[in-house]
Amino acid sequence: MRKNLMEILCCPVCKGALVLTVAEESGDEVLEGTLRCAACRVDYPITEGIPNLLPQTACED
């Protein structure tokens, strides 16, 4: 996943901002890591450069 995608990505559940945590990268490409929704506190994994943004749990307020 390219880091510049952070400008357009949001939480699929609540549309909140996502925080990127990088575990492995190559140049501008994130290979492994997580995207965390600050509002829902849900983590979305990035595996082999592909973010998995499928909703896993409901957003709790």
Residue corresponding to tokens 């939480």: 11
The CATH number given to whatever domain includes residue 31 is 2.20.25
Examine the pLDDT at 25 and tell me if it is beyond 80.
Answer: yes
Dmax of the chain from CA atoms? 37
Per-residue pLDDT, 22: 97
Residue 57 maps to a domain: no
pTM of the entire structure? 0.83
| Residue with more model confidence, 9 or 56 | 9
47: containing domain = 3-51
Question: How many separate domains does the chain show?
Answer: 1
Q: For residues 7 and 3, give the distance between their C-alpha atoms in angstroms, rounded to a whole number.
A: 8
Q: Which amino acid is at 20?
A: L
